[in-house]
Structure 1
Amino acid sequence: MYKLVVLAALVAVARAGVISAGYAAPHAIAAPAYAAAPAYAAAAAPIEYDPNPHYSFEYSVSDAHTGDQKAQHETREGDVVQGSYSLVEPDGSVRTVEYTADPHNGFNAVVHRQAGAHPAPIAVAKVPAPVAYAAAPAYAAAPAYGYKHLG
């Protein structure tokens, strides 16, 4: 009989599965314990370094609705960067900035300004002049009423 009880207990444990160390019975108040996050053995891949980088880009915007007009272009060859950008100022002039940057001279910029046409005047809604009204007629003072307390 003893062997039958031990065998039944082993079958019950096997069917229940593995019980974790953090298991708490449903009526218990303690929260389950969770294992720490796994440590990754491999480090992040090193960032590749380009000893002689090259690029070139340009863009421009010409928005008739907002009046926004600007442009830029830039090139890089190794450690030398050259470029320029331009934009239309609110007074209609065009500002252009030409720049270079390198390890020996640092960043240098030259600013040019071309006078331009003033922007079109903004239409302003006309408001009619205020209407003059005649002075209000003078009325006689209202009669004063009195009352007597009967109590």
Structure 2
Amino acid sequence: MYSKVTLMCLVAVALGRPDKPVPTGYGYAPPTPAYTPPQPSYSAPQPTYEKHEKGMPFDFEYAVKDHYKGVDFDHNANSDGKVVNGQYRVVLPDGRTQIVTYTADHHNGYQAEVTYEGEAQYPEPKPYKPAPSYSAPAPSYSAPAPTYEQPKPLYVAPQH
């Protein structure tokens, strides 16, 4: 019995060898692929930055100033159709005002000059104070007084 089991194990190991070729079965061999990838057929893109349409002249300006929130900025620009000139200002969180004056055209690109007005302020932070806790308000009303009378009987008492 022991020899039969050993013989079966040896046969199983021999059949399951990794160096044995994969059976094709019924004489079938998988076909070799005949596909060849196509060669790239593209050309370099043509630059489009040299051709530009003439711009339209414009002139605009806006400003926002909110003292409650501390918001203060404005922007203005004008163009003759070829060159745009403008300026914008914004108040920074440190108290300074940043001013950007710019010129933009298709030949020189965007040229900006940045300046600052004022001195940066960094105040000491105040210590945190939690909001006061409130108790429930005392009622400002009294209980309503009854507006009804004692009910009267609707029946007549029986006589003895």
TM-score bin, normalised by smaller chain: 0.3 to 0.5
Report the TM-score, using the length of structure 2 for normalisation. Answer: 0.42
Larger Rg: 2
Report the TM-score, using the length of structure 1 for normalisation. Answer: 0.45
